[in-house]
Each structure stands twice: as C-alpha cells, then as structure tokens.
Amino acid sequence: MTKGQKTGALLLAGLAAFAIYKLSKMTGEERAKLAGNIKEKGRKLWDKVNSKNTFAENAENAFEKSSN
C-alpha cells in the first residue's frame, strides 16, 4: 500500500465509524425516515437507468427499421 492508499483507507474507516455513531444516536422514527429516503432515491435511480436502456433499445430498433 502506498501512503495515499493508507490515508484514503484511514479516512474511509473514520467516515464509517462516524456514520455508525450517528446511526446509533438516531431514534427508530429517524432511522425509518432515513431508510425510506434511501429506498426512494434508489428506485428513482433504477427507473432512470432502465429508461436509458429502453431509449437505447428503441433507438436501435428505429435505426434497423430505417435501414430496411
């Protein structure tokens, strides 16, 4: 490991420890709200990725039809 990698790993470990500390101090209601927010953002991202794939497939199909 280089010095930069060690520093990055230490920084990441510190960030993880801080996140665990903050999570342990949250109430159950706050945790549920946080989990819901993360799930909602994940669904939006998933929909966005799927819509791009659909767009690419439609564009490919249109190109094939135009070349015939």
Q: What is the pLDDT of residues 12-60, one digit of tens each?
A: 999 999 999 999 999 999 999 999 999 999 999 988 888 766 666 666 6
DSSP state at residue 26: S
Q: How far is CA 46 from CA 4, 50, 51, 57, 58, in A?
A: 33, 6, 9, 17, 18
For residue 47, the model assigns a pLDDT of 87
Q: Which range, of 7-11, 39-43, 62-66, averages the lowest pLDDT?
A: 62-66
For residue 16, the model assigns a pLDDT of 97
For residue 13, the model assigns a pLDDT of 97
For residue 53, the model assigns a pLDDT of 65
Single-letter code of the amino acid located at 58? N
- How far is 59 from 22, CA to CA, in rounded Å? 46
Single-letter code of the amino acid located at 2? T
Neighbouring residues of 31: CB distance < 8 A, sequence distance ≥ 6: 23
